[in-house]
Amino acid sequence: MTKAEQIAQFDPNGVGQQGSLFGLPFTPQTAEVIIIPVPWEVTVSYGAGTVNGQQAVLAADPQTDYNLQDHP
């Protein structure tokens, strides 16, 4: 599927795709930007645990709202 087809079929009001950042329909082959989550706790000031942050983001991000009525 081409990038144009992915964009045409994407429903921003629908359920996001699991396993993709923010539920967007792009694959690494069609994306213009690839974000690589890196667990980095070298500069943590108040305690450990940030190393698990990327899993929390990936678990929550398919629920991202793209249409915010109060922020046009």
Inside any domain, residue 25: yes
Contacts 24+ apart (CB under 8 A), 39-48: none
**pLDDT tens profile 41-61:** 887 777 777 788 878 777 777
Inside any domain, residue 69: no
Inside any domain, residue 47: yes
**pLDDT tens profile 20-36:** 777 788 888 888 998 88
**DSSP per-residue string spanning the chain:** --HHHHHHH--TTSPPPTTSGGG----TTT-S---------TT-SS-S-GGGHHHHHHHHGGG--S--TT--
Inside any domain, residue 46: yes
Inside any domain, residue 44: yes
Q: What is the pLDDT of residue 50?
A: 79
Q: How many independent structural domains does the chain possess? A: 1
Inside any domain, residue 71: no
Inside any domain, residue 41: yes
Mean pLDDT, range 7-16, rounded to an integer: 82
User: Which residues form the domain of 25?
Assistant: 3-63
Q: How many CB atoms lie within 10 A of CB 35?
A: 10
- Shortest CA distance to 30 belongs to which of 17, 39, 42, 43? 17
